[in-house]
Chains A and B, each alone.
Chain A
């Protein structure tokens, strides 16, 4: 159920009246189904723009984008919304959870738009399963402001996975997290990638985070300047096991299993 991505000569120009910002200047790349690609580059190099186009949130000014062999660069707004809903899961740096809405309702959100008229009970069951998959089943009724950063990001991941996407796009997902929770989130990504074959595109400006991927693409000034397999891959599961038991008061430690082993993040996300 993984997806392949193929872009050719992708260009994105933001027309701001007097000036034109050329965010992407001809990006060509192929990403095979099941890859874990880290995109790295300095701020302003066009990483987010690239991700938005791959995520069908935005359309390129020029160039072609084939998702699973279909050209999506010319689809209508509604058709793009469908692609986002069914094939793509997003994780943002700022979590983007709806405040004053419970974790469960946040996770359920994409199910409201999948157009198959799923019953409320079934939706909630799935949302519970997804929360359970990220070790937060006991936080279902909590609002985002009652959760730690790591927990919020895990809610966001559960939301991204609820419609069983084939691609997971994460824009600086660890940007607002401490190193320990970053490892935890990377562990979830690696697990999703290896166990469920989800194609992962991880955007970061930190080299250490990029090293969790199987392939590292480097952006500069809207262009790819290097594209190499990662030879020194970090494995979050091993690192997590090696970490000392959490001593600070991060609320994450209250997730029982997570504090002892990344096994808590067992992705029993067989949502079929």
Chain B
């Protein structure tokens, strides 16, 4: 019998018992649907993280003081390893792969302007920040290297800070704000960018020269730098540049061979994998559960197929009487089981897709993304389950004796 014929016979047999077929499929539908939904949510979250990490700047390498892997930041006789302006200069001079770089000193403080006040993140940075983060100034200008070297009290506001202090969409360039009782002149406002990688609002930031923040706002450790941000010339150069930076900083810090780094160099990829590793664990866990439910669905199929073979013993006997071989009967029931679970799987994919879409549009607004390869895996797996669990009933049918079957009541 041709495969097409077997398939038609199988579909017709399934069509005869619609209720039973539907109920048997339900196991597969739920199993496959669950896989698709879980994967869609996981992938959606991952894509969102990726997008927001990339929004922070591409080919970004971040160097921070201290090394978590060394078991605590402090080492030696109480002196913590620090990053200094000379380190930034050394990288600028000695690492050709570093296209843009900036020192970064962060703090949080109250910002006061014309009777309004607002608690915000204050990022002390350097002139190349807009280039590193692909972030333009909307109004006014960013500060210059003269401002940095002279530790000028100038500020560039993130759009949220501007909105809260001066009113939405206003132009405060030229006005002054007060931080820690010192006045800063507003020279620019950044374009609105949206949420950053850690969920915080990137626009809720005030930028000032890092030298100013070091000296005027963070008295305690006046010359320290929290982070150095470097953007490599291209994605290909990230690895090489990272190695060079490490080498330069080890020399700067006088580390001898075998001694561990007293700083950390992280690339965007590492950040991303750190952020996505939890979603990955969740996905693995829930896929495990989904696989179990698919197996339960498979057992349901096996059960129904066993009933079906028994019910249709006379039909099997008759088919054998007119020339069907054991293998013909085997294929007939195998394809029936395969079709049952495959169609169930396809419906499950459709349902998973629909639910993902619904989640995205619901008030939850979960980002979802259904990866095509997972649709393939889910459908293929469901077909396979039908074949695996359908085999025993089909084999039983194939072993039947024609005469005994024809006499079966």
Contact = CB atoms under 8 A, between A and B. Distances in A.
Interface residues of B, number: 22
A101 to B, nearest CB: 8
Contacts of B9: 112
Given A57-B402, A58-B403, A112-B5, A90 B321 contact: yes
A202 B322 CA distance: 18
B161 to A, nearest CB: 75
A84 B318 contact: no
A98 B323 contact: no
Contact of A109 (B2, B16, B314, B322): B322
Interface in A43-82: 52, 55, 57-58, 77-78, 81-82
A113 B324 contact: yes
A96 interface: yes
B403 A57 contact: yes
Contact of B328 (A57, A90, A113, A120): A113
B323 A96 contact: no
Given A57-B403, A96-B406, A77 B318 contact: no
Nearest to A79: B325
Contacts of A151: none
B319 interface: yes
A114 B323 CA distance: 7
B326 A78 contact: yes
B409 to A, nearest CB: 11
Contacts of B5: 112, 120
A159 B406 CA distance: 16
A84 B323 CA distance: 5
A114 B322 CA distance: 9
B351 to A, nearest CB: 30
Contacts of A82: 323, 325
19 contacts: A52-B403, A57-B320, A57-B402, A57-B406, A58-B403, A78-B326, A81-B325, A82-B323, A86-B323, A92-B406, A96-B314, A96-B318, A96-B321, A96-B406, A100-B16, A109-B318, A110-B322, A112-B1, A114-B323
Among all A-B residue pairs, the 9 with the closest Cβ atoms: A85-B323, A113-B323, A110-B322, A81-B325, A112-B1, A113-B324, A78-B325, A96-B318, A57-B402
Nearest to B317: A96
B315 interface: yes
